[in-house]
Amino acid sequence: MATISIPEYVPSASEDAEQLRKAFSGWGTNEKLIISILAHRSAAQRRQIRQAYADIFGEDLLKSLDKELTHDFEKVVLLWVLDSAERDAVLAYDSARKWGPGDRALIEIACARSSDELFAARRAYHARYKRSVEEDVAAHAKGDFRKLLLPLVSAYRYEGPEVNQTLAKSEAKLLHEKIGDKSYADEEIIRILTTRSKAQLTATLNAYHNEFGNPINKDLKSDPKDHFLSALRAITKCITAPEKYFEKAIRLAINKVGTDEEAVTRVVATRAELDLKVIKDLYYKRNSVPLVRAIKKDTRGDYEDFLVALIGEEGA
């Protein structure tokens, strides 16, 4: 006789909202209760919880969380509760306003999202900050970086699979010539990287490798300390192999002297519902250590517990 599996009970959005309110009441905040709810709900469920919380208590859940939580734990929880477009808008705002040559959030948002997702993030930016991301990038990025980032964040790339191989070969040759001349900020390099569809750009970079014997990122490493070259490498990697890009981003964030919590938070919060399982597998193959174990080693307290809940335990 077949056994009947009883589905696990999932509380309603209003029940979760009530429980979260309890977590904020009394002496001290019940962080464990917050983690047990929010780290185990899908994007749609989190949206419903936020709406239910506003309906029942007349307050935005984000404001309550902001009052109760602190430090890195607060940052990851607030990002996680946001819709993906709002999350990208917040990350883009923080990146643009305090922008530095080593910052990667704007590149990730512009290159690892679909055209519609980037457009949604730009609209969320308008709604939240009453101005455009382009305005803030133009105000805070300078010189060659401004030339690169402005078309990057305002792009609306074609999403189809079609590829023009003749164009790929000619643009690969053009890229090789400009890189050979060390004209890294040339308008042609910027045009190709910021306007071509991901399929077309992948074909161009494959043609580059086949024709000239090196992957383009190897030729863009002539000066490892050059931040502009590093940005170009990040763009090509983020567009053509996002999972590999994010594996490296989180590896560098936790393997350096002093963990880069901002990068860890950004990668986990933005990829947890997309491709984090692939990133975990790549991390293990590259480092022979499960990602969750590395996170546990480098983080502490409620922040660690929330990250581990999003990543999943070893073997999960």
* Binding residue numbers for Ca(2+): 24, 26, 28, 68, 254, 256, 258, 298-299, 304
Nearest residue to 40 (alpha-carbon basis) of 81, 71, 69: 81
> Residues 85, 87, 89, CA angle at the centre, nearest 5°?
70
Contact (CB, 8 A) for 20 and 61? yes
180 burial level (CB within 10 Å; 0-12, 13-18, 19+): exposed
Look up tokens 């382009």; give the residue: 134
Known binding-site positions: 24, 26, 28, 68, 254, 256, 258, 298-299, 304
- Report the amino acid identity of residue 172: A
Burial per residue of 255-289, b for 16 or more beta-carbon CB atoms within 10 angstroms, e otherwise: eeeebbbbbbbbbbbbbbeebbeebbebbbeeeee
Q: How far apart are the first and last CA of the chain?
A: 30
Nearest residue to 277 (alpha-carbon basis) of 251, 229, 236, 243: 243
Give the total residue count for the chain: 316
